[in-house]
Amino acid sequence: MNITEHPSDRPPGWDWRHEGSCRGTDTDMFFTPDDREQRTIRARRERRAKQICQDCPVLPQCRKHALTAAERYGIWGGMSETERARLGRRHTQRLAR
């Protein structure tokens, strides 16, 4: 998220990250700093992160990455880890039918 690497150091297929609205933003806004974060503080932090994601030009790519890579932590593509897990469970249930 706070991207400072040289363009030649980028993994293939990750160029979209350099176009994100989150570029240059402190990653602490997108990831829980520790397991002891209070629920209200976490909700406020996640809301601010999602506001940044809301109009992001690469939101679809970010979300697809998070779902494909099964990112376990943080706000990715405007979704929290709880929202991604819930979406994954629904998808699994649909496949089971």
Q: Could you state, in order of their start, the residue ranges of all structural domains in the chain?
A: 7-96
Annotated binding site: 22, 53, 56, 62
pLDDT tens track for 5-44: 455 555 566 688 889 999 999 999 999 887 788 999 999 9
The per-residue pLDDT for 94 is 61
Sole residue written with tokens 């990831």: 31
Cα–Cα distance between 12 and 16 in angstroms, integer? Answer: 10
Cα–Cα distance between 85 and 12 in angstroms, integer? Answer: 26
Distance of CA 32 to the CA centre of its chain: 12
Transcribe 8-66 into DSSP letters. GGSPTT-GGGGG-TTTTS-GGGTS-SSTT--HHHHHHHHHHHHHHHHT-TTHHHHHHHH
Annotated binding site for [4Fe-4S] cluster: 22, 53, 56, 62
